[in-house]
Amino acid sequence: MEKDLLLDKSYQCPVCGAAFKSKTVKSGRAKSTGSDLDLRPKYSGIDVAKYEAVVCPECGYGALAKYFAEMTSAQIKRIKEKITPQFIKKEYGRDIYSYEDAIDRYKLAYASALAKEAKASEKAYISLKMAWLMRGMRENLPKEEEDNETKKKELAGQEEKLLQNAASGFMEARMKEDFPMCGMDEFTVDYLLAALYTELEKYEDAIKLISNVIVNREAPTRIREKGKELKEIIGEKSKNKS
């Protein structure tokens, strides 16, 4: 069961100092079932993306777990001015987070990223993971909603907008920021961008990026191999479109 793969991790808010717990996935417990084209990891019985946004229940500051503690005094001031006054305390699922819970938490993380003037890569990473949430929500609609085409289209539209935000953000970061970026080297970021452009049907942009990855001997073998697979997919999709 999903709740058996979770634990409550302790945090201290860098903004208000509150001590609290947030649910996280137990290391090594979730069984991998592969990944999507854009590197979204998939696991049996759980959507790990639901548990990557951490939100302080007292002041409303939110961030992806890897960025939560990284705050300057100026950023703390901005959160206190722009986030905390509008924050309404909310209880999330006791045993697991629903997709609605997770999306709400990611919205707070993105609002906090804007308020603290985070790097383009951090905002892009939140957008990417929110897109994965929308995809996961669509794939796991309750049985009574499985035939709800309106709901599926709505979620697909939200996912596409988030993927566009992620692509533009990572492209901006690629030109302005140093690597590694969000834990990824430059070749992985270029692969990811090519995959996002493929999903957004921007095949010319995708093929330029992935071709550079494939021919670069410094790129990790795994990424080069995934790049070759992606290039074939781009070719098929562009043919079908024309």
Q: Could you read off the pLDDT of 23-33 as tens digits, one per residue?
A: 999 999 999 99
* % the chain with pLDDT above 70: 100
Write the Ramachandran bin of 32: left for phi over 0, alpha for psi from -120 to 50, otherwise beta.
Answer: beta
The pLDDT tens digits for 101-150 are 999 999 999 999 999 999 999 999 999 999 999 999 999 998 887 788 89
Which pLDDT belongs to residue 238? Answer: 87
Which pLDDT belongs to residue 179? Answer: 96
Of 136, 210, 124, 217, the closest CA to residue 170 belongs to: 124
Using the structure block, give the residue that is written with the tokens 């095949």: 203
Taking each helix axis as running N to C, give the angle between helix 186-199 and helix 203-215, from 0 to 180 degrees, rounded to the nearest 10.
150
**Residue 227, C-beta contacts closer than 8 angstroms, at least 6 positions apart:** 191, 194, 210, 213, 214, 219
The pLDDT tens digits for 223-232 are 999 999 999 9
Which pLDDT belongs to residue 143? Answer: 82
pLDDT band at 98 (very low <50, low <70, confident <90, very high): very high
Length of the chain: 242
Which pLDDT belongs to residue 73? Answer: 98
Return the DSSP state at 181. B
Which pLDDT belongs to residue 131? Answer: 98
Using the structure block, give the residue that is written with the tokens 């006054």: 85
Which amino acid would we find at residue 230? Answer: L
Q: For the chain, how big is the Rg over CA atoms in Å?
A: 19
Of 23, 182, 3, the closest CA to residue 102 belongs to: 23
pLDDT band at 242 (very low <50, low <70, confident <90, very high): low
What phi and psi values does residue 8 have, to the nearest 5 degrees? -90, 115
Which pLDDT belongs to residue 240? Answer: 82
The pLDDT tens digits for 35-88 are 999 999 999 999 999 999 999 999 999 999 999 999 999 999 999 999 999 999
Q: Where are the beta strands (DSSP E) in the chain?
A: 6-12, 19-25, 32-35, 41-43, 53-55, 62-64
Please state, in angstroms and rounded to a whole number, the distance separating the CA atoms of residues 21 and 97: 13
Return the DSSP state at 143. G
Which pLDDT belongs to residue 100? Answer: 96
Q: Residue 105 in contact with residue 92, Cβ under 8 Å?
A: yes
Mean pLDDT of 212-221: 95
Which pLDDT belongs to residue 42? Answer: 97
Which pLDDT belongs to residue 226? Answer: 96
Return the DSSP state at 26. P
Of 151, 64, 157, 48, the closest CA to residue 107 belongs to: 64
Please state, in angstroms and rounded to a whole number, the distance separating the CA atoms of residues 100 and 136: 11
Q: Residue 223 in contact with residue 191, Cβ under 8 Å?
A: yes
Q: Looking at the predicted structure, is the pLDDT value of residue 241 above 80?
A: no
CA 3 to chain centre: 21
Which amino acid would we find at residue 224? Answer: R
